[in-house]
Amino acid sequence: MTMNGSSLCRLLADRRAAIAPIAAAGLTMAAAVGALAIDVNRAYTVQNELQTAVDAAAMAAARDLRDPELALRTARRLVEARFPPKLHGQVLADRDFEIGTWDSDTKVFTPGSTGPNALRLTARRAEANGNPQPTSFARLIGYASLDLEASATATVSSRLPLCLLALNPTAKNALEAAGSSQLVADDCVVYSNSDDTDAIHARSNASITASAVCAHGGVKGAHRITPAPVTGCPRLADPLAALPTPTRWPTTHCDDTNGSFGPGTFTLSPGVYCGGIEVKADTTVFLQPGVYQIVGGASFTATSGSRVVGDGVHINVGSGAGSGRIDLRGTPELELSAPLTGDYAGVVLYADRSQSGRTHYITGNASMDIDGTLYAPTGSVEFTGNSRAAITMLVADTIKFNGNSSFQRRAHETDVPIPSGFAGLGAATRVMLVN
């Protein structure tokens, strides 16, 4: 069969007529696909934003793992900064905040509050949260919204112990190192609860070295601090807030009213010292194990050429009326360890909390070797001159180092316990995303 020109024209005309509706349908589908692509791209963008937000929130919240309520607030604050509830609804629901344990071998997260070392967050734009991601074009084919979610698991690899804490919530220079002083806190955390912009201040030629340095407020002189300090840390509760004042009965009872010893060698027994304990020059005092309560405004004082030695000793300064203090001047030497058991286990020196605003001095060439805690919750502890202190833990309202003073965290290699109030306090050595 031969096809002439007119026949070919008629055939082409017929084919064009058949293709027209197909072409129209193709154009419609292409438009639909393009429209769907807009919704898909938008969903992809939101999905990535959810992941970014939940990753940052998990990392930050893991640092507050010791306090789950605080951790949840931290996570929600960061997620809602990117996804304001007024625009996006509740992106992070309570049920999507989980604490638990992460097994690094099996790579499995198990929810639970016993010995947690990790947390898992899931942020959602979903029907379950009442805030699904709306579509613009997919609704034309039956998809009015899309469910989007992103999860992140962050783990705390370990926790460094707390060894130095300035409790004051507002003081400027609550923890200060000045002059040529050196603060060295190996394998532990240096911390300030103050919200001042100078919560921690290292100035002049002073230096602070620790495994971690944290301030609730700001830090000045950060270049003199190793490692780089962290700001915005949550305030820590006073770890020894429950430490009692020794009971004195009757309230007028005194075991010693003299309080002054020296020169020579003396052995003292536990009891109530109404005249304080003053160790004079060229004097050695041996303290028998037990609790020494200094009352009536008297102080614990040691001067040049003196030496105070004792194991299993707790000294309470300033309970009752008056305003006693710890006062070490000149070249005294203290070698003391805390009780192993009882209310004062792990605590050597306690400047009683009833004595607000007192300053306790370790100055001159004073030398302290304290296996235990020095605790002055309402007073300032000041190290000046060429004083040297080796203390396991130091907690005070404010803490100052000046001159050529030095502080070295005493390595805890004895049977003296860490006071129970310190359990769980400190800072994470490493926080990382694991899933």
Residue type, position 141, single letter:
I
Q: Which of 38-52, 69-83, 153-167, 366-380 has the lowest mean pLDDT?
A: 153-167
Structure tokens at 318: 């300033």
Residue 431: the pLDDT is: 79
- Grade residue 428 by pLDDT with cuts at 50, 70 and 90: low
What is the Cα gyration radius of the chain? 34
Segment of 102-111, 286-295, 312-321 carrying the highest mean pLDDT: 286-295
Q: Which residues pair with 407 in a beta bridge?
A: 183, 389
Residue 322: the pLDDT is: 59
Measure the CA–CA gap between 287 and 285, rounded to whole angstroms.
Answer: 6
Residue 291: the pLDDT is: 96
Residue 377: the pLDDT is: 96
Nearest to 392 by CA among 435, 321, 336, 311: 336
pLDDT in tens, 76-101: 999 999 999 999 999 999 999 999 99
Residue 427: the pLDDT is: 64
Whether residue 115 is predicted with pLDDT greater than 50 in this model: the reply is: yes
Name the pairing type of β-strands 148-156 and 118-125.
antiparallel
Measure the CA–CA gap between 343 and 49, rounded to whole angstroms.
Answer: 52
Whether residue 31 is predicted with pLDDT greater than 70 in this model: the reply is: no
Q: Kindly report the number of other CB atoms within 10 A of residue 9's CB atom.
A: 10
- Grade residue 321 by pLDDT with cuts at 50, 70 and 90: low
Please state whether the peptide bond connecting residue 227 to the residue before it is cis, i.e. omega within 30 degrees of 0. yes
pLDDT in tens, 192-238: 999 999 999 999 999 999 988 999 999 999 999 998 898 888 899 99
Structure tokens at 371: 């296996």
Of 423 and 22, more confident: 423
Q: What is the mean pLDDT of residues 300-318?
A: 95
Of 423 and 341, more confident: 341
Helix/strand/coil for 17: helix
- Of all residues in the chain, the percent with pLDDT exceeding 70 is 88
Q: Which residues pair with 336 in a beta bridge?
A: 310, 370
- Grade residue 2 by pLDDT with cuts at 50, 70 and 90: very low
- Grade residue 4 by pLDDT with cuts at 50, 70 and 90: very low
Measure the CA–CA gap between 20 and 398, rounded to whole angstroms.
Answer: 86
DSSP symbols for 240-298: TTTPPPPP-SSTT--SBS--EE-SEEEEE-SEEETT-EEE-TTEEEEEPSEEEEEETT-
Measure the CA–CA gap between 233 and 160, rounded to whole angstroms.
Answer: 14
DSSP symbols for 153-176: EEEE--EEEEEEEE--SS-TTSEE
Residue 320: the pLDDT is: 61
pLDDT in tens, 138-189: 787 888 899 999 999 998 876 678 899 999 999 999 999 999 999 999 888 9
Structure tokens at 22: 């197909």
Of 297 and 372, more confident: 372
Residue type, position 103, single letter:
D
Residue 33: the pLDDT is: 66
Structure tokens at 83: 């996804």
- Grade residue 14 by pLDDT with cuts at 50, 70 and 90: very low
Measure the CA–CA gap between 200 and 222, rounded to whole angstroms.
Answer: 9
- Grade residue 252 by pLDDT with cuts at 50, 70 and 90: confident
Of 184 and 247, more confident: 184
Measure the CA–CA gap between 302 and 424, rounded to whole angstroms.
Answer: 35
Q: Which of 21-30, 175-184, 214-223, 291-300 has the lowest mean pLDDT?
A: 21-30
Q: Which phi and psi (to 5°) does residue 161 adopt?
A: -75, 155
Of 420 and 18, more confident: 420
DSSP symbols for 208-237: EEEEEEEESS-EE-GGGEES--EESPPPPP
Q: Please calculate the CA angle 254-260-263 and round it to the nearest 5 degrees.
A: 145
Measure the CA–CA gap between 310 and 298, rounded to whole angstroms.
Answer: 20
Average pLDDT, the chain: 87
pLDDT in tens, 120-143: 999 999 999 999 999 888 787 888
Residue 27: the pLDDT is: 46
Structure tokens at 239: 């770890």
pLDDT in tens, 231-241: 888 899 999 99
Q: Where are the domains of the chain?
A: 9-156, 160-433
Structure tokens at 69: 């309520």
How far is it between the farthest Cα atoms of the chain? 138
Name the pairing type of β-strands 219-220 and 300-302.
unpaired
Q: What is the mean pLDDT of residues 377-384?
A: 96
Residue type, position 159, single letter:
R
Residue 287: the pLDDT is: 98
Residue 420: the pLDDT is: 78
Nearest to 60 by CA among 43, 73, 47, 46: 73
Q: What is the mean pLDDT of residues 362-388?
A: 95
